[in-house]
A and B are shown apart, each in its own frame.
Chain A
């Protein structure tokens, strides 16, 4: 089965309005590692026949890093243009695989005139599983495998979504081991607040290294994540640790795709 990724404007011109808009985000579009997550998510959507489309070239950065860096001007430029596009198509429901895009679209666009139902792909996928639309092969490759889960700040502490990702892991028959610091006490990967684009301020170590230590101490073989920036930071942190034994950082959608 070949995977189709429809562009919203094309469908719109044909008079079709897809059920959801998949917001890919900058990382999902440009970062080679995050592209794999994007593809995994599209594979799942194709497999179960969800009607979706992406904005393609019409999508712009949500403005999250600009606003958090303090550059409100750039944030407003991006946000207001995105809202123009989204409102033009009359978009109602957005699903995104990035918790930063999710947060900005959900919490910050309404005051600027953009009101949509915004869902993070973790919640979306978990909904499909519990509705029985997405069937996973039980007892598959994750059976009894120690998997840990890293709460991203923007999905967890900031938006209070702790259970959906854990329910997915349960559905995958994985043996979930919690990190010492998890849920509302979860430790940041170090990328948020536009840190992704700058060198660390002087300090004794890096935040992603501190988080990598938590992961190594958990004894897990796989780290499930929900954020493209966390994936990059954690993998880098793990790689920089010489004792690390090939722990893999994977997005929840990448885990699901292995069990379709």
Chain B
């Protein structure tokens, strides 16, 4: 009975706290401006099925993809066992599905055991790749500190989790030889030969509680970690932009203004107050850009293929996404603090529309970074969960050029000749002058 009460309390606390965290993240995502996906339901679900569920883009790198697949499939199938643990924990039953499912239950547990072993192997190789082999994309500066610790914590947690599963299962096999035919755990039983029944029960309980406590911890930890992708990959691929890749988002306000200037339409913006153009903070990115940022797993496939990054420039598409996420988190925390110091207008309550902390995306992202982008779309192509790092880069360039009237000095002559000569270069010759010597 005590166990049931403790379990139920832990369950409510962890789910309650996680719910609060996920609510905060959802609020942070909605700090962005509205954006309506134009994709059809078929396109949306195709992406979810093939890209998120089917891991299609992961397999451009078959080794990490396969190892990741082990952990991913193990994770999915362990949910069946978790449902049982929840029911057992609340009702005080023990392996409630066994009498109901019979031999199918044994199949499921054996299947989960095989997957858990594969996941464990994957985890060790991942640890080696990050810490011994020093794969370059895991050595970038943006991964120093918390991101590296985050990756380490989750891999160690995976080892602890699998250890508890095998501890629980093998103790159960030792206790109930005839009915619990778990093949892999069975191999561990000889280790438990000389242990008395009471200690075996204790081991089983430690495995069971250890497993579920890691899970409860994980539910909360997720919201602070790049491991949010286990949920957000599905949401993000669902909302992915399916418009042509080469189409940069239009700015209707400027289009209408120019149309009225050219006399194509009646009048553009009636109120003379034009809004800020482009993005300098989460408030003027789209919610999809922020969702992208929270979905990022920091795998660095984008940065690895970025031509600017590979030639030593400061730009790293992964860092851009991480900075956006960290900024959204920071603004969210400050909003939750209710501190009037963050009010733009001190007479009004603190809210997303009445917020100023003197910081922006430019506090973390330097102009040098956004200026280095060649818009080659390699990062967009590389992302296994359809994040678009290029879009916020263009939006920040827009903010710099249109709102701040700043930007690279080299572009001033370009803009001047585009405006004055309608050509990318200012030359004294006519556009069609080349025709004169076409027959040379």
B262 at the interface (CB under 8 A from A): yes
Alpha-carbon separation in the docked complex, A154 to B429 (Å)? 28
The answer to whether B422 and A61 have CB atoms under 8 Å apart is: yes
The distance from the CB of B149 to the nearest CB of chain A, in whole angstroms, is: 28
Alpha-carbon separation in the docked complex, A54 to B376 (Å)? 29
B435 at the interface (CB under 8 A from A): yes
- Known contacts A65-B418, A201-B368; is-contact A70 B429 (Cβ 8 Å): no
Alpha-carbon separation in the docked complex, A109 to B132 (Å)? 51
The answer to whether B314 and A201 have CB atoms under 8 Å apart is: yes
Chain B residues with CB under 8 A of A74? 415, 418-419
Q: Which residues between 89 and 114 of chain A lie within 8 Å of chain B, taking CB atoms?
A: 103-104, 106-108, 111-112
- Known contacts A29-B432, A35-B434, A188-B376; is-contact A70 B407 (Cβ 8 Å): yes
Q: Which residues between 402 and 428 of chain B lie within 8 Å of chain A, taking CB atoms?
A: 402, 407-408, 410-411, 413-415, 418-419, 422-425, 427
8 Å CB contact of B422 from A78, A153, A195, A203? A78
A146 at the interface (CB under 8 A from B): no
A202 at the interface (CB under 8 A from B): yes
8 Å CB contact of A29 from B250, B251, B371, B423? B423
8 Å CB contact of B247 from A24, A38, A107, A209? A107
B386 at the interface (CB under 8 A from A): no
Q: Using an 8 Å CB-CB cutoff, how does the interface string of A191-203 with B read, 1 for contact, 0 for none? A: 1111111111111
B246 at the interface (CB under 8 A from A): yes
The answer to whether A188 and B248 have CB atoms under 8 Å apart is: no
B230 at the interface (CB under 8 A from A): no
8 Å CB contact of B307 from A65, A106, A210? A210
The distance from the CB of B343 to the nearest CB of chain A, in whole angstroms, is: 31
Alpha-carbon separation in the docked complex, A5 to B396 (Å)? 42
Q: Which residues between 1 and 60 of chain A lie within 8 Å of chain B, taking CB atoms?
A: 2-3, 5, 7, 24, 26-27, 29-31, 35, 38-39, 42, 54, 56-57, 59-60
Chain B residues with CB under 8 A of A157? 245, 376-378, 381
Q: Which residues between 348 and 398 of chain B lie within 8 Å of chain A, taking CB atoms?
A: 368, 371-378, 381, 394, 396-398
Chain A residues with CB under 8 A of B246? 103-104, 106-108, 154, 158-159
A154's nearest neighbour on chain B, judged by CB, is B246
Q: Using an 8 Å CB-CB cutoff, how does the interface string of B248-286 with A read, 1 for contact, 0 for none? A: 101100110111011010000000000001100000000
Alpha-carbon separation in the docked complex, A197 to B258 (Å)? 25
Alpha-carbon separation in the docked complex, A29 to B251 (Å)? 29
Alpha-carbon separation in the docked complex, A78 to B414 (Å)? 13
8 Å CB contact of B371 from A72, A106, A107, A198? A198
Alpha-carbon separation in the docked complex, A54 to B313 (Å)? 40
Q: Which of B258, B305, B375, B397 has the most A CB atoms < 10 Å from its CB?
A: B375
Chain B contact residue count (CB 8 A cutoff): 68
Alpha-carbon separation in the docked complex, A72 to B312 (Å)? 29
> How extensive is the interface on chain A, given as a class?
35 or more
The answer to whether B378 and A203 have CB atoms under 8 Å apart is: no
B233 at the interface (CB under 8 A from A): no
B372's nearest neighbour on chain A, judged by CB, is A201
The answer to whether A2 and B439 have CB atoms under 8 Å apart is: yes
- Known contacts A29-B432, A159-B244, A159-B246; is-contact A195 B423 (Cβ 8 Å): no
Chain B residues with CB under 8 A of A143? none
The answer to whether A84 and B245 have CB atoms under 8 Å apart is: no
Chain A residues with CB under 8 A of B419? 74, 77
Alpha-carbon separation in the docked complex, A130 to B312 (Å)? 43
The answer to whether B314 and A193 have CB atoms under 8 Å apart is: no
Q: Using an 8 Å CB-CB cutoff, how does the interface string of A169-199 with B read, 1 for contact, 0 for none? A: 0000000000000001101101111111111
Alpha-carbon separation in the docked complex, A173 to B430 (Å)? 39
A135 at the interface (CB under 8 A from B): no
Q: Which residues between 152 and 167 of chain A lie within 8 Å of chain B, taking CB atoms?
A: 153-154, 157-159
The answer to whether A198 and B248 have CB atoms under 8 Å apart is: no
B395's nearest neighbour on chain A, judged by CB, is A70
8 Å CB contact of A38 from B248, B278, B434? B434
Chain B residues with CB under 8 A of A61? 418, 422-424
Chain B residues with CB under 8 A of A77? 258, 261-262, 419
8 Å CB contact of B255 from A65, A69, A70, A112? A112
Chain A residues with CB under 8 A of B418? 61, 63, 65-66, 71, 74, 78
The distance from the CB of A165 to the nearest CB of chain B, in whole angstroms, is: 17
B143 at the interface (CB under 8 A from A): no
Chain B residues with CB under 8 A of A73? 254, 257-258, 402
Chain A residues with CB under 8 A of B381? 157, 184-185
The distance from the CB of A162 to the nearest CB of chain B, in whole angstroms, is: 12
Alpha-carbon separation in the docked complex, A77 to B435 (Å)? 27
- Known contacts A78-B422, A153-B376, A185-B305; is-contact A72 B251 (Cβ 8 Å): yes
Alpha-carbon separation in the docked complex, A174 to B97 (Å)? 66
The answer to whether A81 and B422 have CB atoms under 8 Å apart is: yes
12 contacts between A and B (CB under 8 A): A3-B438, A5-B432, A5-B438, A24-B432, A63-B418, A66-B414, A70-B278, A72-B402, A80-B264, A107-B247, A202-B312, A210-B310
Binding site for A on B (CB under 8 A): 60, 244-248, 250-251, 254-255, 257-259, 261-262, 264, 277-278, 305, 307-308, 310-315, 368, 371-378, 381, 394, 396-402, 407-408, 410-411, 413-415, 418-419, 422-425, 427, 429-435, 438-439
Other A-B pairs beyond A200-B372, A203-B314, A210-B310, 6, CB < 8 Å: A72-B398, A76-B254, A84-B262, A153-B376, A197-B413, A203-B372
